[in-house]
Amino acid sequence: MKQLSRQQIIAQEMPEIEAEHRGLFALCWQFYKELRTGAASQGQLLDVFNEIVDQASVHFAHEDVVLKKIVYPRHAMHQLAHRQILIDLVSSQHAMKKVNEMAHRDAQHSLDALLIHHVREDAKFARLVGEIEPCSIGIRLWRG
């Protein structure tokens, strides 16, 4: 079977990767908003946070496969960053099971790390594949 070229892999995978990014950002905004307005119960907040952890886990695994396929030069570091973020998220997920303000702040820090990763690190491979203007990934994700 003929192997796909880097450009073919990118064309095939990037729309889904971007959709996953938009989904994650939308959930993070929802969490921040519900926390700020006090509109959600602890159970609802935890539901949103659990969904973020699940989606981040699926997304990181998918992105790691794509970065490996395209022989991304920063792949090892990028994969390590994913693992660290996931450890943070799971740690916050456990803390969130207890109702207290510190757990909420801790959860926000973990989400900040997730969002910053996308704006800083994913922007590097987005630039490499040439599909997205440098520095515009954060704006695009923000708009949804």
Closest approach of Fe ion to the CB of residue 78, in Å: 6
- Token pair in block for residue 53: 């952890």
Closest approach of Fe ion to the CB of residue 30, in Å: 18
User: b/e per residue, 2-17, with b = 16+ CB within 10 A?
Assistant: eeeeeeebbeebbeeb
Closest approach of Fe ion to the CB of residue 21, in Å: 6
Classify 138 as helix, strand or coil. helix
Question: Which residue is at the shortest CB distance from Fe ion?
Answer: 122
CB nearer to Fe ion: give 63 or 88: 63
Residues 6+ apart with CB under 8 A from 7: none
Cβ-contact 48, 23 below 8 angstroms: no
Binding site for Fe ion (CB under 5 A): 63, 122
CB nearer to Fe ion: give 13 or 122: 122
CB nearer to Fe ion: give 48 or 137: 137
Closest approach of Fe ion to the CB of residue 138, in Å: 12
